[in-house]
Structure 1
Amino acid sequence: MAVIEPTGVAAASAGAGAVPGSRRSAGNGVIVAYVIAYLALYIALITPVISTLAVKVNEISTVATRAGDLSLVTGIGAFFAFVANPIAGALSDRTTSRFGMRRPWLVIGVIGGAVGLLVIATASGIWQVVVGWAIAQTAFNGTQAALQAVLPDQVEEHRRGKVSGWLGIAQNASSLIGIGLATLFAAAGLTSFWSIAVPAAIGVVGVVVFAALLHDRRLSKADAVPFHLGAFVKGFWISPRKHPDFAWAFTGRFLMLLGFAAYNGYQVYFLLTRFGFDTPTALSWQLRLSVVQTIVLVVAAALGGWLSDRTGRRKVFVIVATVLAGVGLIVFASAQDPNILFVAAALFGAGLGAYFAVDLALVTDVLPNRETDAAKNMGVFNIANALPQSLAPALAPLLLGIGSTTAGNYTLLFVVAAVVILAGAASTMFIKGAR
C-alpha cells in the first residue's frame, strides 16, 4: 500500500515544512468552542451527504436516474474535497496573517462552503447541484484541514483521546441534528431549500465564533517556507517502509470510510425502495434510526476515548469498533422488517462512536512531522476521508445494477460495504508504533 505523505527528508529538501509558530495549550472554554465548531461544520457538511442531497436530487430526477445522478454529484464533489484538503492544510501551515495560521482558513472556508450550499438549495438542474457541491466541498475542506490541525496544535497528548472522543461525538451527532431539521421541514411541507440553507447558516455561526475565541498560532514571514506546488506534490510520496504505521492507519480509515460512504449516501434511497416509504416517511425513519445510533454512539465515544487515555491503548478500540460497524451494516442490509433496523443502528452507532473517538488520536500518535507540518499531514490523512466519497459513488451504481430491478440492489451494496469495513479492522492490526 502506497500512501502519499511527505517523508522527513523529502519535506525538508523540498521546502515542504513550516517553522512552528507561537503556540499555547487551549483552555477548557476554547475546547468547548472547538467541539461546538466541529459540530456546526459537520451539520453543514454531513447533512447533504446523508440526506438532503439525495432529497434534492430526487426532486429533480426520476426513479431510474436518481442513483446515477446522485453518484455524479457526490463523486465530483468528493474529487474537489480530495484536492482541496491537503493543499489547504499546507497553505495553512505557511499562513503568516496577523490573524493567525488557522483562523483565515476557518472563516473564509466556512463562508465559501455556505455559498456553495445555497447554490444547491436554489438549483433546478443536476449540473447546478454539481457546481454547488463542488464549491461547498472545496471550501468546507479548507475549513476542515485547519480545524483538525487545532488538535495537535493546542491539545496536549494526555488529553487528545478525550478531546478526540468529543470531536467524534460532535461529528456524528451532526447527522442527527441535520436529519432532524430535514424531517421537520419535510413534515411542514417545505422544500429542500430550508434543509440545506439552515445547516449552512449553523456552520457559519459555529465556526466563526470559535475562530474569534481561538488563541491562534502565528508564524512570522521570516520563518515561513514558500509554497511551491511542484515541491508540494513531490513531497506527497511516502514509502511504506519508512512510515508503515501511518500507511496502515491511512488504509484502515480509507476502508472504514469507503463502506461508510456507501451507507451514508444511499440510506434514503434504501428506505424508499426496501419499504416503499414516501420521502417524509423515509426521513422520519432515518431520524429515528439516527436517534438510536447517536445515543449509542455518544456512550461508546465517551467511554472509548476515556478508556483509551486511561490504558494508553488505541488499536484494540479501533479494531473492535470497526468490527461492530461492519456487523451492524450486515444486519441493516438483510432487514426485511424496518424495526430490525434499530438493532443495526445500535451496532453501527457503537462501532462509529468508539472508532471516531480513538482513531483521530491514533493517527495523531503516528503522524509524521507533526511539529512542522501538522495541518498538511492531517490534510493528507483526510484523503482517506475524501477519496472514499469519490470511489463509493463510482462503484455503487455497478453494485446496484447487479441482479436487480431499476430500483437497485441495495442488499448487495451494503453487504459489500460491510466486508470493506471489516477489512479495515485487519489493516489496523499491523500498526506497531501505537498500542
Structure 2
Amino acid sequence: MRVTLARHRRDLRLRYRLSGEATRAADLALVTGVGAFFAFVANPLAGALSDRTTSRLGMRRPWLLWGGVLGSVGIAVIAFAPSIAVVVVGWALAQAAFNGTQAALQALLPDQVDEAQRARVSGWLGIAQNVAPLVGIALAFALTSAGAASTWMFLLPTVIGLAGVLWLTATLRDRVLDRSTVGPFRLGAFLRGFWISPRRHPDFAWAFTGRFLLLFGFASYNAFQVYYLLERFGFDTATALSWQLRLMVVQALLLFVAAAAGGAASDRTGRRKVFVVVSTVLAAAGLVVFAVAQAPELLYVGAALFGLGLGAYFAVDLALVTDVLPNRDTEAAKNMGVFNIANALPQSIAPAVAPVFLGIGAGAADNYAALFVAGAVIVALGALSTMFIRGAR
C-alpha cells in the first residue's frame, strides 16, 4: 500500500496534463488539497468505526479489505479520467479508502504485537513507509523505459498494493468483538471521542507533539528540496532531480539500517525515550548540514545523518505512542488515527509557513539556510517534548 500511495502522489503530475497550461498548478493544488482533506478525516473516522465493528471477519479485516478495494477503484478512475473533475473524485476516493485501510493497519500494532517486540515492528513499518517511494520511482522508470502507457504507472502499483492487502486480510487472525460489549451508537458521544484531553492523557499529548514537530522539520526540507538544489548549487532541472534521487537512496539505506538496529535495541533494553531523543538530534544535525553546505558532496553527509535520525525515530516512535495510548483495548484504531493527524498536518502547514523563513534577508535567492535551521530547531523541540513523557522509559 505504501508503494501505491507514494507512486500515485507523483503520478498525479501526469494527470494534470489534462488541463490547460495556465491552470496546471491550480488544478494540481485542487486535487491534492481535496485528497488531503479526505485523508485527514478518514483515518480517525475509520479507526473509530473499526473499534466498534462486530463482523465475523473481525474488527480490522473488513476495513483492510474494503479500503484496499475501494482505494484501487479510485486509482483506476484517475488512470482513465477524461477531466480534472474526475481526477478529483478518484483521488478523494483513493485517499479516503486507503486511509481507512491505514487506520486498521496501525491498530494491528497494539492489537497483535507484544510490548517486547513493538519497536522492531515499528521499525519495519518505518522502513516500508520511507523506502516505498524509491520502489515506486524505480517501477515508474522501468515502465517508462519499456514504453508502457502512462495508465500503467497507476494500475501496476495499485495491483501490487491490493495484492498485499488481500494477503494480509486472508492470513490475519483478527480480534472478533462481542456485540454485547458495544454500547448503543450516540452521535454526540462518538464525535466527542475524537478529542483526547491533554490534561487527562498528557503522555499521549507529548508524543503527538513530538511527532508533529519532527515531521514539520522534515516537511520544511522535503517540500523544497528540488528548489534548494536548483538555487543553492545552480543545477539544471535534470541534474537537480538526479541529485534528489541520489540523496533519497543514501537516506533510505541509512534509514533501513537505523530502523532495524534501533528497533531491536529498544526492545532489548525496554527503553524508548532515549532513542527518540538521539534520533531527533541526528535529524536536526542533518538539517544543519543542508543549511550550511556550499559543496554538493556535503549533501551526502546531511542525507546520511537525516536518514539515521529518521530510521531510529520511526523504529521506536510508534512503539512509544502505543505504550501510552489511551484506552488501548477498546479505542486503539481511533486513537492511532488521531495520532496520525500529527503525520498529515505538518505536510500541509510547513509549505505555507516556509516563505516566512525563506524571505529573511533574502535578495535574489531564497534563504534556505534560515528555513533549514528553523527546521532543525523545531525538530530539537520535538526531542524536548519527548522528555516529558512519564509512562514510558
TM range (shorter): 0.7 to 0.9
* Structure 1: runs of 5 or more not aligned: 1-40
Select which of 327, 333, 358 maps to 1:375: 333
Whole-angstrom distance in 2 between the partners of 1:104 and 1:77: 22
Structure 2 CA distance, aligned partners of 1:224 and 1:388? 34
Contact 1:95 1:219 in 2 (8 A): yes
Residue 385 (structure 1) aligns with: 343
Report the AA paired with residue 258 of structure 1. F
Question: What does 1:24-173 align with in structure 2 at a 5 Å threshold?
Answer: 41-49=1-9, 51-53=10-12, 66=25, 71-122=29-80, 128-173=86-131
Instruction: Report the residue type matching 2:389 in the other structure.
Output: I
Q: Deviations over 1:54-76 (max 9, x none)?
A: 5665896869974x665554343
Structure 2 unaligned segments of length 5 or more: list them.
none
Amino acid at match of 1:242: R
On the 8 A contact 2:78/2:90 being kept in 1, the answer is yes
Give the letter aligned to residue 182 of structure 2.
A
Is the CA contact (8 Å cut-off) linking 1:183 and 1:284 kept in structure 2? Answer: no
- Corresponding residue SS for 2:194: coil
**Selected match of 1:228 from 177, 186, 194:** 186
RMSD over aligned CA atoms reads 3.1
Percent sequence identity over aligned pairs: 64
Name the aligned partner's letter for residue 301 of structure 1. A
Q: Which amino acid aligns with 1:244?
A: P
1:359 aligns with 2:359: no
Q: State the AA in 2 paired with 1:115.
A: V
How many residue pairs match? The answer is: 391
1:344 aligned onto 2:302: yes
Deviation at 1:291, TM superposition (A): 1.9
**Offset of residue 187 of structure 1:** 5.2
Offset at 1:215? 0.9
Q: Is the 8 A contact 2:275 2:316 kept in 1?
A: yes
1:329 to 287, 293, 312: 287
Q: 1:126 to 1:395 in 2, by over 3 A?
A: farther
| Higher RCO structure (Cα 8 Å, ≥6 apart) | 1
Map 1:11-30 → 2, pairs under 5 A: none
Q: How far apart, in 2, do the equivalents of 1:336 and 1:297 lie?
A: 24
**1:254 paired residue among 212, 215, 232:** 212
Between the aligned partners of 1:81 and 1:58, the Cα distance in structure 2 is 24
Is the counterpart of residue 422 in structure 1 residue 389 in structure 2?
no
Distance 1:55 1:419 in 2: 36
Question: Is it true that 1:206 corresponds to 2:164 in the alignment?
Answer: yes
- The residue that corresponds to 2:203 in the other structure is 245
Structure 1 residue 365: deviation in Å?
0.6
Partner of 2:153: 195
Aligned in 2, Cα 1:183/1:270: closer, same or farther, shift over 3 Å? Answer: farther
C-alpha displacement of 1:364: 0.6
Select between 73-82 and 288-297 the one with higher mean Cα deviation: 73-82
CA contact under 8 A between 1:79 and 1:386: conserved in structure 2? Answer: no
Structure 1 match to 2:272: 314
Deviation at 1:400, TM superposition (A): 5.8
1:377, CA displacement in angstroms?
Answer: 1.2
Deviates more, 1:424-433 or 1:126-135: 126-135
Deviations 1:27-84 (A, max 9, x none): xxxxxxxxxxxxxx111123344x4445665896869974x66555434322221111
TM-score between the two structures when normalised by the length of structure 1: 0.79
Cα deviation 1:10-33 (Å, max 9, x = unaligned): xxxxxxxxxxxxxxxxxxxxxxxx
Letter in 1 for 2:52: R
Displacement of 1:266 after TM fit?
A: 4.1
Higher mean C-alpha deviation, range 94-103 or range 129-138: 129-138
Contact 1:168 1:301 in 2 (8 A): yes
CA contact (8 A) 1:183 1:287 kept: no
CA contact (8 A) 2:120 2:263 kept: yes
The separation in 1 between residues aligned to 2:247 and 2:160, in whole angstroms, is 23
Which letter does structure 1 place at the counterpart of 2:218? F
Pair 1:343–1:183, CA change in 2 (3 A): farther
Distance apart, 1:267 and its partner CA: 3.5
Q: Distance in 2 between matches of 1:112 and 1:349?
A: 33
Deviation at 1:356, TM superposition (A): 0.4
1:433 aligns with 2:391: yes
**Residues in 2 aligned to 1:285 and 1:69: alpha-carbon distance in whole angstroms:** 28
Contact 1:256–1:421, Cα closer than 8 Å, also in 2: yes
**Would the alpha carbon gap of residues 382 and 101 (structure 1) be closer, same or farther in structure 2, given more than 3 Å must change?**
same
Contact 1:94 1:226 in 2 (8 A): no
Contact 1:160 1:361 in 2 (8 A): yes
